[in-house]
Amino acid sequence: EPVDMPPFAGALHIVSDVLALQLNGNLDIDGNDTNIDGSPGTEASLPGVALDDPSDSAYFINNIKPKIANDIEGFGGSPSVYSDPNVVDWEAVMMNLIFSADQTVSTGTYSSEHFGTPTVPQITHMYGDIHLSGTCDGDGIMVVNGNLTMSGDFTYRGIILVYDESTIDCQITGNGGIFGATILVGSDVDIHATGNAEFFYSSEAINNAQLYLKSSRFKIVSWWE
């Protein structure tokens, strides 16, 4: 049976009891549908950033610099930051994806690996402290059970889910880009971002993963409205 994916709430979706932010550089978060080649997509816009609690949305807006606020685009205009009322059992989603994983990798730095391709995307399970750097890239669904550092020119097309029952430390540097949707879930989520990192909502990247994954092992329950 395909893995049911909950509706995507934004280009970057953060689910946390405690949120800490250090956002600098030229961070670009865009909930407007964007194709992998950078051209506009055809689906309705999502928020650039979605959080699970209205107070977190207010905290996020009040703790980012004006330049970065202007670069968080999507539904409703800049800064496109909204709370998402939907309650999702992200642990169950993670476990279903892990059970269906094509590849499992552990703690380490990965600088030239390809975790799936556009024509052969894969479900990749990573656990521990993961550093994705250099020319490392991938397509499909990436599940990280631990801390994630992205640097260099790391590029991913699809869905990234970072999950931990305790603290998630997500460090983003360099010129990397995520096309699809990124979800961070933990009791504490610490985000440190510098450089020119980009997060784009991309229905094309998500649909490509769904179309080409072996036996189509996931399906989207519904789109955000």
C-alpha gyration radius of the chain: 16
pLDDT (tens digit, 0 to 9) for every residue of the chain, 225 residues total?
Answer: 556 678 899 999 999 888 888 787 788 999 999 999 999 999 999 999 999 888 888 889 988 888 889 999 999 999 999 999 888 898 888 888 888 899 999 999 999 999 999 989 999 999 999 999 889 999 999 999 988 888 888 899 999 999 987 677 888 887 888 999 999 998 888 888 887 888 999 999 999 888 777 645 555 554 443
Yes or no: say if 176 and 159 are a contact pair by the CB < 8 Å rule: no
pTM of the model: 0.91
Q: Tell me how far apart the alpha carbons of residues 170 and 151 are, in angstroms, rounded to a whole number.
A: 11
